[in-house]
Structure 1
């Protein structure tokens, strides 16, 4: 199924009439810094439409991406660690 869908998308995109990524990208995306508190980043991801956010350093250079999945994984690790301390 994925192959069929991917092939259909490729056919459609082959007719982009010269469009480039810059025509479709979000020009000024919401970003977080490496030093942003995890709770604040989680709030942004969970309370907005964004599924991922670019992470920038103090100079504004892209250094990574944080996703909703990263936040959920971190929350589960924190939960397990606190449960282990209680046992």
Structure 2
């Protein structure tokens, strides 16, 4: 794996050149960010006008209507899962 993070340190523990660990950390961070975005959207989309606006914007970009409360994030989650499986 190419070295894309240098001198990564977590609580004074050096991760060094462990590329798989770097990727796992990035995957976990990405999942955390997606969850934060989803939570914020769910709070905003209580308003039906806001929900309708988001659905129209997503449809305009060719993204399917909101399903399973994922707000268009399912393809990203699927990609993260696929990368995690390859690391096993």
Both structures adopt the same fold (TM-score exceeding 0.5)? no
Higher share of residues assigned helix = 2
TM-score, length of structure 2 as denominator length: 0.27
Structure ID, larger Rg? 1
TM score, norm. by length of structure 1: 0.28
Q: Which is strand-richer, 1 or 2?
A: 1
